[in-house]
Copies of this chain bind each other. A is one copy, B any other.
Amino acid sequence: MVLRPMTGMVSFRAASARDLITIVALLADDPIGRGRENPGSQLETCYREAFAAIERDPNQLLAVAERSGDVIGVLQLSFIPGLTRRGMWRGQIEGVRVAASERASGIGRAMLEWAIEECRRRGCGLVQLTSDKRRSAAHGFYEALGFEATHQGYKLSL
């Protein structure tokens, strides 16, 4: 894959309620997300409630990548305390998306590197994520960042 150069400064920050319509559009603009999300300018209450729950929880951080005032990427970090591995905190990454027009420009990599650094800053000893087995291109991306596919990721729909 040839990387296009990133143009302009990209910055990362916590998402605000103003970003929600753009974020849900990003989540939906994806082969797997398309069938799962309901984007639009009038968002369903479920998204507003989920955003409020994320904002209330100090161990959640919904973050966006921004350039020239445009939100071009999103991910969620969860900081999880636990007893295993001598009481090690884990940083968990979910819902990583980059705007279609910005893919292969290095923004995904910059966003993940920022997220890993944020986990380190918050005292985590491990960063974890799962990636759908159908996302084969994503797997090489995570492995290039140093992630190892040591685990099976199981899901059960209720």
Chain A residues within CB distance 8 Å of chain B = 20, 23-24, 27, 33, 36-38, 44, 46-47, 49-51, 53-54, 57, 59-60, 62, 76, 78, 80-89, 92, 94-95, 116, 119-120, 124-133, 139, 142-143, 145-158
Contacts and interface: CB of A to CB of B under 8 A. Distances in A.
Given A59-B59, A128-B130, A130-B130, A47 B83 contact: yes
A150 B62 CA distance: 24
Given A128-B156, A130-B130, A95 B81 contact: no
A11 B128 CA distance: 31
Given A59-B59, A158-B116, A51 B83 contact: yes
B82 A94 contact: yes
A132 B151 CA distance: 4
A24 B157 CA distance: 30
Contacts of A38: 86
Given A149-B154, A151-B130, A154-B130, A95 B78 contact: no
Given A36-B85, A50-B81, A83-B51, A154 B128 contact: yes
Contacts of A150: 132-133, 153-155
Contacts of A85: 36-37
A154 B158 contact: no
Given A50-B87, A119-B158, 13 more contacts: A24-B83, A47-B87, A50-B83, A57-B59, A78-B80, A82-B94, A82-B95, A116-B158, A128-B153, A128-B154, A146-B156, A148-B155, A150-B153
